[in-house]
């Protein structure tokens, strides 16, 4: 019975240590303003519009890797 309590206590301590380590890592992350991130995303999207098939589309329908290969068949 005492061994079970010690195991649970040790598991709880290990879990808390992992949590503290994770929080320390997150605290060191450099934060950016949302407005700056939005500007960067807009610039990125604008500069990659020509390469984006969701905006531009495919030159030929056969270039689309997501197009269904076969049609429906009725048995």
The token pair that represents 4 in the structure block = 């079970």
Which CATH number fits the domain 2-58, given the four candidates 1.10.3210, 1.20.120, 3.30.460, 4.10.260?
Answer: 4.10.260
74 vs 28, more confident = 28
Q: Is the pLDDT of residue 59 over 80?
A: no
For the stretch 33-57, pLDDT in tens is 999 999 999 999 899 888 887 777 7
Cβ neighbour number for residue 17 with a 10 Å cutoff: 10
At 4, the pLDDT band (50, 70, 90 cuts) reads: confident
Residue with tokens 């303003």, as numbered in its chain: 33
**Which pLDDT value is given to residue 71?**
67
Domain ranges of the chain: 2-58
0.75 cut: is pTM over it? Answer: no
């Amino acid at each position: 019975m005492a061994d079970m309590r010690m195991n649970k206590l040790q598991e709880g301590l290990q879990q808390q240590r992992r949590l503290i380590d994770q929080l320390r890592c997150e605290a060191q992350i450099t934060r950016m303003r949302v407005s700056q991130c939005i500007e960067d995303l807009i610039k990125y999207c604008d500069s990659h519009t020509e390469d984006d098939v969701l905006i531009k589309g495919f030159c030929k329908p056969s270039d689309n890797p997501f197009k269904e290969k076969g049609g429906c068949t009725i048995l």
